[in-house]
Structure formats: structure tokens, C-alpha cells
Amino acid sequence: MKAITLHGVADVRVQEHADPRIQEPTDALVRITTSAICGSDLHYYHGRFPNVEPGIVLGHEFVGEVVEVGAEVRGFRPGDRVVAPFSISCGRCEACKERLPAQCQTTNRAVFGGRFGRQYPGAQASFIRVPFADFMFERVPAGMPDEQAIFLGDILATGYFCAENGGIRPGDQVAVVGCGPVGLLAIQSAQLFGPARVFAVDRVEYRLALAEAFGAVPVDASRADPVAAIRAETGGRGVPVAMECVGHASALETALGLVKAGGTVSVVGVYAEAAFPFPISQAFFGDLTFKIGICNARNYITRLLPLVQAGRLAPTRIVSHVMGLAEGPRGYRIFDRKEERAIKVLLKP
């Protein structure tokens, strides 16, 4: 099959790769109909995560059709359209039973197309093997296009998780730092909780324009200090909820500067660093709540699906490019460099 594989910093290639096969009786094979390039894929593209084997198939966002199931799979059969979360989990271990599937003890917190535990080939390919299919899969309703369903398995779930962790109450003022794909969907999700205003902080004009179209107040960090600007808009107090959707120390510093005393900083940006300075005295004397973590996306797919069907969440509005798998290296390049007004790049095998 054709697949996008990683060979070094900024070196992704479309190559022939061995077709996946059923290895365990709980596995299923899926023919990919749509995959995507995620912001966290760029961490591998930039070489920020160590111990990734050269030639790994990238990607963890996908929708597809089941083509084969293992002997113990009961809930799905060939022909079913499915979406799955980015993290691989068994559904049976202590962590999964505690609704922490991203901490699965069976798979050692594995993800498709990356390496946190065991390395599993990813979804930027023609086919993918999905372990623990009965737990992992969500059936895609008839009539729901791939372009909607694909967001359920990762970045829409992550954006909603960020807003939920913020504890947004009706009438709150909220700031979202970073208007990439996750940040934009965090803005959409935050609006469901009834805030008075959502401020959107970024440096990229076309992404701020889309944030504004989603009802946010744009704050261009390339033109003004976002902390000073938003504090001026909030009577000097700051916001009760700041959401960090970048994964960089400067973005976290901004979020901490925006939050008011007694407020909450909700973090879903992916950090490759093992440690960096944290303003513990600021958090202590400001009575701040700090929430950070990888999204347990499997918990959210079923919850968010009807909101997408009803149009209350509209993730397709962030799709900027749809291209063939053969154009994947160009997709990585324009997404990384923010060329061609790239926001979300979908791939078709």
C-alpha cells in the first residue's frame, strides 16, 4: 500500500509499505477513506520526540471502512464506516475502566503513528490495523461525511475537553491562546458553555479572521501585548478561564498572564519538553487552578457526534485543503509554514 513515512527532520515521503494484517483476534483492518495532518504530527516532523523509528507511518486521525475483523470482534463487520480515537486502548484495564483510556496500561499509552509506548503504524496510508476494535470504533452514521466524522477522534474532542476543563460558566469571559486547528475548535466548544466573550490570541491574520467568524474577539499578538490588551478589556482583572492550545512555553506564559485571581488555566497544547520553568509563586498567590492533560478522546466521540450532526459544532469550517495522499509532503510543508492559508489538511488515499 501507499503510506506517508517519516525519515528525519522535515523528511516525509510517500512510499510503498507492507499492508497491515490481523495480528490479534480483537483486531480489525480498515480501508482509509480520509486521514488528516495534525499539529502533533509536526512534533515528529520537527524531530521533537525521540526514539521514533525511521520509516514509521504517520497519522492518527482517520475515517474508513472495515474490511476484515478478527475472530473475537463482535460489534463490527466488513462494510461498516468507522472513526476511532487517536490513542489506542483496550477498554478492560484499570485505567480504561476509570475512563482514562489514553492512559491504557495494556498498550502503554500508545497512539497511532507515533511513539509514547509501543509503536503502531499510523493512518496516513491506504489501510490501518486497529487493535481492540470493539472498544475503539464508533460507527459513523449514514449521511455523515468523512469531513465531519474525522474530527471526532482527536481535535474536536481535544478542543471540547479543553473548554470543559476550564469550567466555563455562563457569562464568563474566556481567552483561547492559539488559533490553530485545536484552538479554533476550542473556541467553537467554549461557545456552547455560554460565555459573555471569547478572546482569541494568535499571530496569524487569516486564523484570527476565522476565530472572529466563530464569534471570538481577535487579539493579534504580533501587533500588541495580548495580556495588556485583554486585561484592558476586562477592567484590569483578566479572564476567569484561559485555554492554552499551542504547546509552547511562551503560550503558557501568556495564558497565565491572562487569567484572573481564582481562575483556571486549561492546557491541551502538546509539550515535548520534559520540564521548563513554571511560575509557581504566581499560581500560588493567585489561587489559580491549573489543568493539563492528553484528551481521553474515546470518552467524547459518542457525546460530540450528535452536536456535530445538529450543527452546534461545525468542524468542517476549519478545513482549508483536501489533497491526495501523494501530495502529503506538500501538505506537511504548507501546514508547517502556514502557507496557502493552511489550517487543516485532509488526505484522500
Distance CA 109, CA 100 (A): 10
Residues 67 and 200 in one domain: no
Tell which of 292, 309, 338 closes a domain.
292
Residues 287 and 175 in one domain: yes
Distance CA 155, CA 138 (A): 16
Tell which of 292, 320, 339 closes a domain.
292
Read off the pLDDT of residues 5-25 as tens digits, 9 standing for 90 and up: 999 999 999 999 999 999 999
Beta strand segments in the chain, E: 2-8, 11-16, 28-37, 62-69, 81-83, 127-130, 138-139, 173-177, 197-202, 217-220, 239-244, 259-267, 289-292, 319-324, 344-348
How does residue 116 score in pLDDT terms, banded at 50, 70 and 90? low
Q: Higher pLDDT residue, 115 or 192?
A: 192
Residues 96 and 219 in one domain: no
Distance CA 180, CA 205 (A): 12
Residues 284 and 165 in one domain: yes
Read off the pLDDT of residues 175-189 as tens digits, 9 standing for 90 and up: 999 999 999 999 999
Residues 242 and 308 in one domain: no
Question: What number is the average pLDDT over the span 245-274?
Answer: 95
Distance CA 74, CA 187 (A): 38
Residues 17 and 146 in one domain: yes
Q: Do 35 and 59 form a contact (C-beta atoms < 8 A)?
A: yes
Question: Structure pTM?
Answer: 0.97
Domain count, the chain: 2
Residue-range definition of the domain harbouring residue 243: 156-292
Residues 150 and 7 in one domain: yes
Tell which of 244, 266, 292 closes a domain.
292
**Helices and strands of the chain, counted as H and E runs:** 12, 15
Residues 172 and 273 in one domain: yes
Residues 32 and 51 in one domain: yes
Predicted confidence at residue 115, as pLDDT, reads 57
Q: How much of the chain exceeds pLDDT 90, in percent?
A: 92
Residues 273 and 162 in one domain: yes
How does residue 117 score in pLDDT terms, banded at 50, 70 and 90? very low
Residues 7 and 124 in one domain: yes
CATH of the domain at 41: 3.90.180.10
Contacts of residue 343, defined as CB under 8 A and 6 or more positions apart, other chains included, come to: 180, 181, 184, 206, 207, 210, 318, 319, 320
Beta bridge mates, 36 = 346
DSSP 137: -
Question: What number is the average pLDDT over the span 152-159?
Answer: 99
Residues 343 and 259 in one domain: no
Read off the pLDDT of residues 39-97 as tens digits, 9 standing for 90 and up: 999 999 999 887 788 899 999 999 999 999 999 999 999 999 999 999 999 999 999 99
CATH of the domain at 172: 3.40.50.720
